[in-house]
Structure 1
Amino acid sequence: MTATEPVTREGERSASRATKRPGESCSGPAGIAPVTVPQKVEPTLLTDQVYSMIHQSIMNGDMPAGTRLRIRDLAAQVGTSVMPVREAIRRLEEAGLAERVPHRGAVVKGLSFAELVHVYDVRLLLEVEAARLGATRITRADAERMKTEFEAMRVAIVEGRVVELLEHDEELLSILYRASDNPLLVNMIRNLWHHCRAYKIVGARGTLDSGDVESLVVFQERLVEAALRGDDVAAASVNHDSLVDATDRIRALLEAQHRDQA
């Protein structure tokens, strides 16, 4: 007899007792209380939808850093009970997009110099390598798709559409990074993009307002050229310089905001 046999047989006896016999009521044999199966108050799909709506508002900059996430107000806006909103906010906190502040409750996570440096340091580690790997393997067709996204970036800049600019920029980079044939690397990078979207919005919006639009396209233009040549060294170098430049621009913009608020 093996050690697992008694457990298995007990399970069989339990299953046998759970089977309704002639003459037994639906509540089970005499002396055995009916089993109550817990029901979820709200389906997971509803929580997913609420999370997606709030997440999108944060990604678009409609809910800037510091915005209070009032559960009842949000529930009224999206037309649900408070439970899926509360769960959605918990998930936003886990994703690093919201935080708890004393006497204020949950708010969209604020921006800090320390986090800016930490996030962009990690982006440097991952994205320079992703660009190098991608440039060695990218097809001509995919490099041309990068060029198409670059042209769409230019249009978004002329029209002052910050969110569309960032989306085309990220798709341009995604095409190159996916060519690395390392989906884990790509997913890690995309998660970082979500985490630092507020910083990217500050950088893009502030740079557009300053009129220095060239800094938003010069590195991506060079990156597309490197991809078209299959030049991995150039692609890695351009990505490094681009991320360093972005960090410096965003830091300067945050410092200016802090001075204005002082």
Structure 2
Amino acid sequence: MDTSKRLEPATSMADRVYAVLHESIMSGEFPVGYRLRIRDLAALVGTSEMPVREAIRRLEEAGFAERAPHRGSVVKGLDLAELVYAYDVRLLLEVEATRLGAARIDAAGIAAMREGLVSMREAIAEGGVMDYLDRDETVLGVLYEASGNPVLVDTVRALWGQCRAYKTVGARSALDKPVDDALWRHQERLVDTVESGDAEAAAAVTRESLASAIERIKAQLKEQKKQN
């Protein structure tokens, strides 16, 4: 793992370590169940144990890690039941963020969404899962920020972080199916409706996209129960 690039943006050592660990979890480099050994991680990032301990505590608070009996802190697995709740909240907030943003966005914002959509399609073509997710959130972020409600936007972004592991799995699955347009279909329709000036139609696209994701999670949850 190349830590030199990852450590630059942070403002404190604990922030830097958190950024490295968080990225490693989100990228799948640290898989579910991976033991976050303080001494090993301190050696990996080249720091003392104290900031590593603090970073792990923050990962636990954010829901990316959890305490396991006799193992210490480990990367937390996907809890599909929790994801259903998270997506239910996303549905409520993002539909409203879309409605508000679509009513207020200007020509520059629409152009930025178009550029982001092209960039997102490029990431899909290259098979870059994390790049795709980042660019997808950039497109949506432009729209939601146009709502003028920073608390709404920050709350949505926090939910994106909680759902990131599931989104990564879903995106990887879709990328394995070249004819599947699930990764860009809703986003393209969203940009089209926003550009048309129809805020209600845009909100409907967001509702449909997230409702579809909720149904996929529920189907996986049902399948999980059958296997157990």
Normalising by structure 2, report the TM-score. 0.89
Deviation at 1:196, TM superposition (A): 1.0
1:141 to 92, 108, 112: 108
- Give the structure 2 partner of residue 101 of structure 1: 68
More off after superposition, 62-71 vs 181-190: 62-71
1:61 to 3, 28, 48: 28
1:172 to 136, 139, 146: 139
Q: Label 1:108 to 1:209 Cα distance change in 2 as closer, same or farther (>3 A).
A: same
After superposition, the C-alpha distances for 1:126-157 in whole angstroms (9 at most, x for unaligned) are 00000000000000111111011111111111
Indicate if the aligned counterparts of 1:203 and 1:250 stay in contact, CA closer than 8 A: no
Q: For the residues of structure 2 that align with 1:180 and 1:73, how far apart are their CA atoms?
A: 44
Other structure's SS at 1:125 match: helix
2:49 to 73, 78, 82: 82
More off after superposition, 151-160 vs 127-136: 151-160
Max Rg structure: 1
Residue 163 (str. 1) matches residue 134 (str. 2): no
1:249 to 183, 208, 216: 216
More off after superposition, 66-75 vs 161-170: 66-75
After superposition, the C-alpha distances for 1:98-132 in whole angstroms (9 at most, x for unaligned) are 11111221111110221110110110010000000
Residue 120 (str. 1) matches residue 87 (str. 2): yes
Q: Label 1:159 to 1:253 Cα distance change in 2 as closer, same or farther (>3 A).
A: farther
Residue 190 (str. 1) matches residue 162 (str. 2): no
After superposition, the C-alpha distances for 1:159-195 in whole angstroms (9 at most, x for unaligned) are 1100010011000000000000000000000011111
Identity %: 58
> Of the two structures, which has the highest relative contact order with CA contacts closer than 8 Å and spacing of 6 or more?
2
- Give the structure 2 partner of residue 132 of structure 1: 99
Partner amino acid, structure 2, of 1:247: I
Q: Label 1:104 to 1:181 Cα distance change in 2 as closer, same or farther (>3 A).
A: same
Q: For the residues of structure 2 that align with 1:119 and 1:162, how far apart are their CA atoms?
A: 21
Partner amino acid, structure 2, of 1:70: R
Indicate if the aligned counterparts of 1:131 and 1:177 stay in contact, CA closer than 8 A: yes
Residue 232 (str. 1) matches residue 206 (str. 2): no
Partner amino acid, structure 2, of 1:157: I
- Give the structure 1 partner of residue 39 of structure 2: 72
Normalising by structure 1, report the TM-score. 0.78
Other structure's SS at 1:215 match: coil
Q: For the residues of structure 1 that align with 2:200 and 2:139, how far apart are their CA atoms?
A: 18
Q: Label 1:155 to 1:251 Cα distance change in 2 as closer, same or farther (>3 A).
A: farther
Q: For the residues of structure 2 that align with 1:65 and 1:141, how far apart are their CA atoms?
A: 41
Indicate if the aligned counterparts of 1:98 and 1:106 stay in contact, CA closer than 8 A: yes
Q: For the residues of structure 2 that align with 1:104 and 1:230, how far apart are their CA atoms?
A: 54
Aligned residue pairs, count: 217
Structure 1: gaps spanning 5 or more residues? 1-43
Indicate if the aligned counterparts of 2:80 and 2:220 stay in contact, CA closer than 8 A: no
Find runs of 4+ consecutive structure 1 residues off by over 4 angstroms: 250-256
Other structure's SS at 2:184 match: helix
Deviation at 1:250, TM superposition (A): 4.5
Structure 2: gaps spanning 5 or more residues? 1-10
Indicate if the aligned counterparts of 2:81 and 2:221 stay in contact, CA closer than 8 A: no
Q: For the residues of structure 2 that align with 1:245 and 1:55, how far apart are their CA atoms?
A: 27
Deviation at 1:246, TM superposition (A): 2.1
Partner amino acid, structure 1, of 2:41: L
